Structure 1
Amino acid sequence: MDAADAQGGSLAIDLGSSNTVVAHQPATGGPPRLLNVPAYSHGDEPIIPTLLYCADDCATDHLNSPRQTCLVGRQVIEAGLLETMNQPPQPPAALYCQFKRSIGARPRCEQVERAERGGALFLEHLWQALPRQTPPERLVLTAPVDAFAGYRRWLLDHGGRLPVPELALVDEPTAAAIGSGLPPGSHVLVVDLGAGTSDLALVQIQGGEGQAQPVSQLLRFNGNDLARSSQHLRVARVVGKAGAAVGGRDLDQWIAAHMAPWTTGPLPEAWIRAAEKLKRQLSTDDQATVDVVGAEGGVTSWQLKRSALERLLQQQGFIRLLDNLLKQVASSARREGLDLSSLTAVLPVGGTSCLPLVRRWLEQRLPGVPCCARQPLTAVAYGALALTPNVQVRDVLSRGVALRYWDRRQQAYCWHPLYWAGQPWPTESPLQIRLAPAQANQPALELVLAEIGADLRREVVFVDGQPQLLEEQAPAASMNPWPAAFPPLPLPQQAQPGQDALLLAFSITDERHLHLQVKSLLHGKFGTELEGPLDLGPLR
């Protein structure tokens, strides 16, 4: 389907590290179809390389500006500009590629700001390629699990600049589960192995008979308040999720370095693309061959067997990484009383998930669980199109939060967990805690919060230009200081030591903020509201 045929309806953009997929849902109904943008797509395939080259500073260009000095997708490859990736920049010209993994990252730095600028320009140019007569009525964007909060802020900031009446956001693994077409009530493990990230998410699909498939992570529609909608809210809930900024791009670099062991430092982009072709061939064949232009200009053939590739991935710790991600998801599932062996299905998504090594890993770790591998490259975009204005946001926290209290027996401060990592949000009902003074005539109680640290920290570092995985075990319940301090909570004068005096009701909002309502238990039968709701800040 060409972009010129996309009149009205809904548009979904699945922004990938290496490739981007655009899908369209007609306003009149009918099945969704991938959108082919002839100027940007890879030949006849409806896949757009996630590449942008700006000849001058076009960061201030607007959608209707006549000055267009950018090349997008296939245009960058055909112009031979991809090979300038590892060369010193020549301002004001700029090449933007592999920017997805830096979007929304913390701490903010020049690299993050550059990635977010390039991503915003890429989206704007995609939008410009659509017909102006009848533009889409709804734009649905996708976001990865890892670093979701920062990525979501970026999409909302820049997505709001696009002239579309309705804007929505969907978590990539959740959208993939929806796109798989599994029935309501199913528990699906989405294994999303993209070019820049590896995400595992256990999703419960909910909904009634005859209803459209539900999705999670719908944030808001411009001008459409879900809270006032009279339609029934449908929910897709993420039970547990884990992710790492390691993906197919890193595998390609490992392969290229393996094929050219004498090379140090950053590898030529042509070699990395050749390695990606080897990997793709080895998804179906036992042996693969590609021609590569060597450093001296001559052409050489790279040959690689599937067994050698699998040994390489084992040595680099890729399977160990997947095992650790699966353990985190399994831990969240156990807190919900769910065993992974009872899953409805496992859904592999992304090009790397097509590798036989990954499929065997799934069969070994999840024996007996059916594998739905019908659309590994398009499931996210098709699932995102299932968004409707009457879907409610339900996601899970990646970090927990705890409240400090005085333990009279131990005569020491201790921490009481309020919400653990894996807690769905927004919460349906408040979490209530009763507090009592520790001594007579105590005027107030301190309100001290902390973030519960992750059980496992993982990062990617580059050694001689090649990505390496590092792991570091952290304490099971390390406490990180809360970024904000709060005034003490006044106690009623008649409060006695050990007597319940205050009722604290915690909740998590649609914006993932922690709210607190405070009531006195010593005024009237049902208590008197003292404070609230107090916004205690965002959660992660």
Structure 2
Amino acid sequence: MSGTLAIDLGSSTTVVAWQDRQGPPGLLPLPPYSCGDPCVVPSLLWLEAPDAERPLIGRQVLEAALADGDHPGLCRDFKRQIGAPATGPSPGWLSAERAGALLLEGLWRALPAELVPERLVLTAPIETYRGYRAWLERACRDLAVPELALVDEPTAAAIGAGLPPGSRVLVVDMGGGTIDLSLVALEGGEGRAAPIAQLLRFAGRDLTRSGQSLRCARVIGKAGVALGGRDIDRWIAARLCPDGPADGGLLQLAERIKCQLSDAPEARQIQAAAGSFRELTLTRPAFERLLEERGLPQLLDGLLEAVLAAARREGLGLGDIDAVLPVGGSSRIPLIRRWLEGRCPGVPLRGERPVEAVALGALALTPGVQVRDVLARGVSLRCWDRRSAAHRWHPLFVAGQSWPTEQPLELVLACSQDGQEELELVLGEPLPEERAEVVFEAGLPVLRERPAGAAPVRPWSPSPLTIPLASPGQRGVDRLRLRFSIDARARLLVAWDDLEAAADGGRSEPRPLGPVR
């Protein structure tokens, strides 16, 4: 079964998702490494000796009670160090880059035999994207996959949550070891190409030197702290067992209690030690008091203010944010959700799938298992500009826009005169911008620089599409909502709503206008 494999390597958990040619995307169980619901692989490795070739991975480390301590064979929290400047020697036997590579190799070996990945897409943090990309090229060199792609994590998370290209998104990432708040502006939007994953390998050919520009969301503001879900587990363990050591077994129980309290008002777990059993119980109000005593809401307040201060320096306020996107398991804690709603009033909270949103978004950014083509020229719509009292060309899709499009581009048109009974759509193709022209001087061709300006546009056809209005329009009053898209046959489609007749069924079906290139 051919398809696309996405791996979101996280600080505490790694999410693996799969999509075949026809079926929907979904998380992929990988026994014996994966566990939990939703199905994830703990980002843990354990080596018995420095020269061990096959480490224990994920759930194996947890079941062997080896997930805590200072043993040099334990590897955790290595994701943040991949691609980042070295700050000193590794405390364990493996470097962060080698630990990440061993994790990827182990996951690849654990794939079900019936799955044949045609493309592997991985996610990378924005701040270390370049270094992460270089590591990824080395780590995946020997993996037998024809296509390899990379996408930044905030873009993948936003697309996985259903946000449109061009959105400004506050990403609240509460991982196992860190809390990071990032305000990012996604690629795309009106007149700009939508984001797609960056191909590093295609049809077995290395594209790393192809001159592709970095395709990352733009960071407007960012703040973080080295405190995360595992620290919350330690707070729970200390509250429930103040006299005992916070060993791996107790921390596992604390983590389960934390997860249960995201869905239930009370959590219970049984602790077995030295032949005896003890019931550990924690209510949600007691848990929330614990978080407040430890200062978590105040810490989040400081991080959010730092991000919003950076936004204000760019002339942006809270009202300019299109959505808040919580990711990471700890973002499901009800206290965190209430804090987000209280500090970001009026901003939609999009956190339906906080654990798997990044991996599923990575699949969406690699359009199934097909390579999405891009426009060479683009297409523009002629519009009347009231200020200049002249027509101008408004770009709909520009060169570099991938197609088929995921979501239609919406545009609202007003009438240019009173009593107008129809609107016509005059489309054109922007011509390649030439900064020089050939002229002849004394019989010899000479290149002469042209002044910069708007690129010329060649109209498509002398017979533009005419859309009749249900009733005469008024000058300057919005009348038609147009929805432009490009289908799999490279055809430009348009559908429209007559705003005056919307209640009476003024919506049309998509209509082909012609091919784009």
TM-score of the two chains, using structure 1 as the length reference:
0.60
Letter matched to residue 88 of structure 2: R
Q: Which residue matches 2:43? A: 50
Give the structure 1 partner of residue 474 of structure 2: none
CA distance in structure 1 between the aligned counterparts of 2:298 and 2:134, rounded to whole angstroms: 31
Q: Report SS of the residue matched to 1:239.
A: strand
RMSD between superposed Cα atoms in Å? 3.5
Larger deviation, residues 35-44 vs 177-186? 35-44
1:93-118: CA deviations, max 9, x gaps? x4434443554564131227444333
**1:111 pairs with 2:91:** yes
1:251 aligns with 2:245: no
Q: How far apart, in 1, do the equivalents of 2:351 and 2:168 lie?
A: 16
Tell me what 1:293 maps to: 272
CA contact (8 A) 1:177 1:383 kept: yes
Q: Secondary structure at the match of 2:347?
A: coil
Residue of structure 1 in register with 2:18 after alignment: 24
In terms of mean alpha carbon deviation, does 148-157 or 136-145 score higher?
A: 148-157
Q: Give SS of 2:177's match.
A: coil
1:10 and 2:10 are equivalent in the alignment: no
Residue 256 and residue 81 in structure 1: after superposition, are their counterparts in 2 closer, same or farther (change >3 A)?
same
Q: CA deviation at 1:257?
A: 1.6
Instruction: Report if the CA contact (8 A) 1:341-1:369 is conserved.
Output: yes
Q: 1:29 to 1:206 in 2, by over 3 A?
A: farther
Contact 1:21 1:378 survives alignment (8 Å)? yes
Paired AA for residue 42 in structure 1: C
- Summarize the Cα distance change of 1:43–1:76 in structure 2 as closer, same or farther, 3 Å threshold: same
**Percent of pairs with identical residues:** 52
Q: Which residue of 2 aligns with 1:121?
A: 102
Q: Which deviates the most, 163-172 or 205-214?
A: 205-214
Q: Within 2, Cα distance between the matches of 1:241 and 1:101?
A: 15
Matches within 5 A, 1:466-505: none
Counterpart CA distance in 1 for 2:8 and 2:67 is: 26
2:75 corresponds to 1:81: no
In the alignment, structure 1 residue 72 sits paired with structure 2 residue 53: no
| CA displacement, residues 162-200 of structure 1 (integer Å, 9 cap, x when unaligned) | 343333333322311111111233222111112122222
Distance in structure 2 (CA, Å) of the matches to 1:147 and 1:227: 20
Query: SS at 2:305's partner residue?
Result: helix
| Contact 1:193–1:350, Cα closer than 8 Å, also in 2 | yes
Q: Which residue of 1 aligns with 2:493?
A: none
Q: 1:35 to 1:215 in 2, by over 3 A?
A: same
Structure 1 contact 174–190 (Cα < 8 Å) conserved: no
Aligned 8 A contact 1:52 1:95 in 2: yes
1:260 to partner: Cα distance: 2.0
Quote the Cα distance in structure 1 between the aligned partners of 2:193 and 2:270.
Answer: 48
Q: Structure 1 residue 353: deviation in Å?
A: 0.7
1:87 to 1:342, Cα distance in 2 relative to 1, 3 A: closer
1:338 aligns with 2:323: no
For residue 224 of structure 1, what is the aligned residue in structure 2? 207
Partner of 1:276: 255
Matched residue of 2:355: which SS? Answer: coil
* Aligned-residue offset at 1:326: 1.5
How far is the alpha carbon of 1:345 from its aligned partner?
1.3
User: Which residue does 2:381 correspond to in 1?
Assistant: none
Is contact 1:51–1:97 with CA below 8 Å preserved after alignment?
yes
C-alpha displacement of 1:246: 1.9
Q: Distance in 1 between matches of 2:209 and 2:100?
A: 28
- Contact residue 2 and residue 115 of structure 2 kept, 8 A: yes
In structure 2, the residue corresponding to 1:109 is in which secondary structure?
coil
Shift of 1:158: 2.0
Q: Alpha-carbon deviations, 1:503-540, whole Å to 9, x = none?
A: xxxxxxxxxxxxxxxxxxxxxxx9xxxxxxxxxxxxxx
Call closer, same or farther: CA 1:290–1:149 in 2, change over 3 Å.
Answer: farther
Cα shift at 1:20 = 1.7
Q: Deviations over 1:115-155 (max 9, x none)?
A: 43332211111111236787423222223456666555544
Q: Gapped runs of 5+ residues in structure 1? A: 1-6, 62-68, 393-525, 527-540
**How far did residue 275 of structure 1 move?**
0.7
Equivalent pairs counted in the alignment come to: 366
Change (3 A) 1:309 1:134: closer
Distance 1:104 1:148, change over 3 A: same
User: Where does 1:13-412 land on structure 2 (aligned, <5 Å)?
Assistant: 13-26=7-20, 28=21, 30-42=23-35, 46-57=39-50, 61=53, 69-77=54-62, 80-83=63-66, 85-86=68-69, 94-103=73-82, 106-111=86-91, 113-130=94-111, 135-144=116-125, 151-207=132-188, 214=195, 218=198, 220-221=200-201, 223-224=206-207, 236-263=217-244, 267-294=246-273, 296-388=274-366
The 8 Å contact of residues 191 and 347 in structure 1, kept in 2 or not, is answered as: yes
Secondary structure at the residue paired with 2:237? helix
Larger CA deviation: 128-137 vs 184-193:
128-137
Tell me the SS of whatever aligns to 1:325: helix
- Encode CA deviations 1:412-431: one digit per residue, 9 max, x unaligned: xxxxxxxxxxxxxxxxxxxx
SS of aligned partner of 1:200:
strand
Contact 2:154 2:217 (8 Å CA) reproduced: no
3-state DSSP of counterpart to 2:149: strand
- What amino acid sits opposite 1:377 in the alignment? V
1:444 maps to what in 2?
none
Query: Hey, what's the Cα distance between the residues in 2 that align with 1:332 and 1:135?
Result: 45
CA shift for structure 1 position 156: 4.0
In 2, distance between residues paired with 1:125 and 1:345? 36
**Amino acid across the alignment from 1:107:** T
Secondary structure of 1:111's match? coil
**Alpha-carbon distance in 1 for matches of 2:60, 2:214:** 43
Flag the 1:212–1:386 CA change in 2: closer, same or farther, 3 A: farther
Paired residue type of 2:119 = R
Give 3-state SS (helix, strand or coil) of 1:110's partner.
coil
Q: Secondary structure of 2:91's match? A: helix
CA contact (8 A) 2:126 2:216 kept: no
For residue 256 of structure 1, report the CA deviation from its aligned partner: 1.0
1:293 to 1:102, Cα distance in 2 relative to 1, 3 A: farther
Farther-moved stretch of structure 1 (194-203 vs 42-51)? 42-51
Is the 1:142–1:172 contact (alpha carbons within 8 Å) kept by the matching residues of 2?
yes
Does the Cα contact within 8 Å between 1:214 and 1:391 map onto a contact in 2?
A: no
Shift of 1:271: 0.7
Task: Quote how far apart the aligned CAs of 1:202 are.
Answer: 1.8
Measured in 2, the distance between the counterparts of 1:44 and 1:339 equals 37
Instruction: Assess, with a 3 A threshold, how the Cα gap between structure 1 residues 238 and 9 changes in structure 2: closer, same or farther.
Output: farther
Q: Distance in 2 between matches of 1:141 and 1:55?
A: 28
Aligned equivalents of 1:390, 1:228: Cα separation in 2: 18
Which shifted more, 247-256 or 182-191? 182-191
